[in-house]
Amino acid sequence: MLPTLCAGFPSPAEDFIEGALELPRWLVPNPPATFIWRVRGWCMKGAGIHDEDLAIVDRSLRPASGAVVVAVVNGEMSLKRLLMTGNRLSLTFDNPEMDEEFALEDLEEGLLWGVLLFSVRWHHVKARAASCDEPGAASSASSARRPSR
Protein backbone atom coordinates (compact mmCIF):
# COMPACT_ATOMS: atom_id res chain seq x y z
CA MET A 1 0.00 0.00 0.00
CA LEU A 2 1.32 3.47 -0.87
CA PRO A 3 1.62 6.16 1.80
CA THR A 4 -0.72 9.12 1.52
CA LEU A 5 0.35 12.66 0.72
CA CYS A 6 -1.60 15.58 2.18
CA ALA A 7 -2.79 18.04 -0.48
CA GLY A 8 -4.42 20.39 2.05
CA PHE A 9 -4.07 21.13 5.74
CA PRO A 10 -2.97 18.18 7.91
CA SER A 11 -5.61 16.86 10.28
CA PRO A 12 -4.99 17.66 13.97
CA ALA A 13 -6.54 14.26 14.78
CA GLU A 14 -3.98 12.37 12.66
CA ASP A 15 -1.91 11.42 15.72
CA PHE A 16 -4.97 9.80 17.36
CA ILE A 17 -5.98 7.36 14.61
CA GLU A 18 -6.52 3.94 16.21
CA GLY A 19 -6.95 1.80 13.10
CA ALA A 20 -9.85 0.62 11.03
CA LEU A 21 -13.17 -0.09 12.70
CA GLU A 22 -14.47 -3.51 11.69
CA LEU A 23 -18.16 -2.62 11.71
CA PRO A 24 -19.58 -6.13 11.14
CA ARG A 25 -17.55 -7.55 14.06
CA TRP A 26 -18.47 -4.59 16.27
CA LEU A 27 -22.21 -4.79 15.50
CA VAL A 28 -22.35 -8.59 15.62
CA PRO A 29 -20.02 -9.80 18.39
CA ASN A 30 -21.63 -13.28 18.48
CA PRO A 31 -22.73 -14.17 14.91
CA PRO A 32 -24.45 -17.53 15.60
CA ALA A 33 -26.75 -15.90 18.18
CA THR A 34 -27.30 -12.56 16.43
CA PHE A 35 -30.32 -11.77 14.29
CA ILE A 36 -31.30 -8.63 12.39
CA TRP A 37 -34.95 -7.56 12.21
CA ARG A 38 -36.65 -4.65 10.47
CA VAL A 39 -38.84 -2.75 12.96
CA ARG A 40 -42.48 -2.17 12.05
CA GLY A 41 -44.42 0.39 14.07
CA TRP A 42 -43.80 3.12 16.60
CA CYS A 43 -44.32 1.39 19.97
CA MET A 44 -40.63 1.90 20.91
CA LYS A 45 -40.11 5.49 19.77
CA GLY A 46 -39.38 6.57 23.37
CA ALA A 47 -36.28 4.35 23.18
CA GLY A 48 -35.29 6.04 19.91
CA ILE A 49 -36.37 3.05 17.81
CA HIS A 50 -38.48 4.03 14.81
CA ASP A 51 -40.48 2.33 12.09
CA GLU A 52 -38.11 0.89 9.42
CA ASP A 53 -35.05 0.84 11.76
CA LEU A 54 -32.97 -2.31 11.93
CA ALA A 55 -32.90 -4.11 15.28
CA ILE A 56 -29.75 -6.14 15.97
CA VAL A 57 -30.69 -8.77 18.56
CA ASP A 58 -28.51 -11.26 20.46
CA ARG A 59 -30.20 -14.42 21.73
CA SER A 60 -27.27 -15.41 23.97
CA LEU A 61 -27.53 -12.45 26.35
CA ARG A 62 -29.37 -12.51 29.66
CA PRO A 63 -31.72 -9.50 29.80
CA ALA A 64 -31.61 -7.01 32.65
CA SER A 65 -34.46 -4.85 33.89
CA GLY A 66 -34.90 -1.92 31.54
CA ALA A 67 -33.45 -3.77 28.53
CA VAL A 68 -35.20 -3.65 25.18
CA VAL A 69 -36.01 -7.22 24.22
CA VAL A 70 -37.64 -9.24 21.48
CA ALA A 71 -40.42 -11.25 23.08
CA VAL A 72 -42.94 -13.73 21.77
CA VAL A 73 -46.30 -12.40 22.95
CA ASN A 74 -49.18 -14.79 22.18
CA GLY A 75 -47.38 -16.12 19.11
CA GLU A 76 -46.22 -12.74 17.75
CA MET A 77 -42.63 -11.44 17.79
CA SER A 78 -42.56 -8.02 19.43
CA LEU A 79 -40.01 -5.42 20.55
CA LYS A 80 -40.69 -4.30 24.14
CA ARG A 81 -39.01 -2.88 27.25
CA LEU A 82 -38.49 -5.51 29.98
CA LEU A 83 -39.24 -4.52 33.57
CA MET A 84 -38.35 -6.69 36.56
CA THR A 85 -40.01 -5.98 39.91
CA GLY A 86 -39.14 -8.62 42.49
CA ASN A 87 -40.03 -11.94 40.85
CA ARG A 88 -42.40 -10.33 38.35
CA LEU A 89 -41.36 -9.87 34.70
CA SER A 90 -43.40 -7.49 32.59
CA LEU A 91 -43.20 -6.02 29.11
CA THR A 92 -44.12 -2.48 28.20
CA PHE A 93 -44.18 -0.19 25.20
CA ASP A 94 -41.72 2.70 25.18
CA ASN A 95 -44.21 5.19 23.79
CA PRO A 96 -46.25 7.59 25.97
CA GLU A 97 -49.25 7.12 23.65
CA MET A 98 -49.30 3.38 24.40
CA ASP A 99 -49.50 2.92 28.16
CA GLU A 100 -49.91 -0.86 28.45
CA GLU A 101 -47.89 -3.29 30.53
CA PHE A 102 -48.04 -7.07 30.20
CA ALA A 103 -46.96 -9.42 33.00
CA LEU A 104 -45.27 -12.42 31.39
CA GLU A 105 -47.11 -14.87 33.68
CA ASP A 106 -50.50 -13.39 32.64
CA LEU A 107 -49.91 -13.98 28.94
CA GLU A 108 -51.23 -17.08 27.21
CA GLU A 109 -47.80 -17.41 25.64
CA GLY A 110 -44.89 -15.20 26.69
CA LEU A 111 -41.23 -15.86 25.98
CA LEU A 112 -38.13 -13.68 26.03
CA TRP A 113 -36.46 -14.33 22.68
CA GLY A 114 -33.41 -12.03 22.65
CA VAL A 115 -31.87 -8.74 23.78
CA LEU A 116 -31.52 -5.68 21.56
CA LEU A 117 -27.87 -4.75 21.03
CA PHE A 118 -28.28 -1.88 18.56
CA SER A 119 -30.81 -0.18 16.38
CA VAL A 120 -29.70 1.25 13.06
CA ARG A 121 -31.53 4.01 11.22
CA TRP A 122 -30.94 5.05 7.63
CA HIS A 123 -30.64 8.81 7.21
CA HIS A 124 -30.03 8.88 3.47
CA VAL A 125 -33.21 8.03 1.56
CA LYS A 126 -31.52 6.52 -1.52
CA ALA A 127 -29.20 4.37 0.60
CA ARG A 128 -32.15 3.01 2.60
CA ALA A 129 -34.20 2.23 -0.52
CA ALA A 130 -31.26 0.44 -2.14
CA SER A 131 -30.62 -1.73 0.93
CA CYS A 132 -34.17 -2.90 1.57
CA ASP A 133 -34.31 -6.26 -0.14
CA GLU A 134 -37.31 -7.65 1.77
CA PRO A 135 -38.91 -5.44 4.42
CA GLY A 136 -39.68 -7.32 7.60
CA ALA A 137 -37.17 -10.10 7.07
CA ALA A 138 -34.91 -11.23 9.87
CA SER A 139 -31.52 -12.48 8.89
CA SER A 140 -28.84 -14.60 10.48
CA ALA A 141 -26.20 -16.98 9.31
CA SER A 142 -28.37 -19.83 10.57
CA SER A 143 -31.99 -18.88 9.82
CA ALA A 144 -34.50 -16.35 8.53
CA ARG A 145 -37.86 -15.51 10.08
CA ARG A 146 -40.55 -12.89 9.47
CA PRO A 147 -41.15 -10.59 12.47
CA SER A 148 -44.39 -8.94 13.52
CA ARG A 149 -44.76 -5.94 15.71
Per-residue pLDDT tens digits for 57-105: 999 999 999 999 999 887 889 999 999 998 888 899 988 888 788 787 7
Best mean pLDDT range from 48-62, 82-96, 128-142: 48-62
Q: How far apart are CA 55 and CA 118, in angstroms?
A: 6
Angle at 45 between CA 40 and CA 51, to 5 degrees: 25
Domains of the chain, by residue range, sit at: 31-131
Predicted local distance difference test score (pLDDT) of residue 18: 67
The pTM score is 0.69
Enter the CATH code of domain 31-131.
2.10.109.10
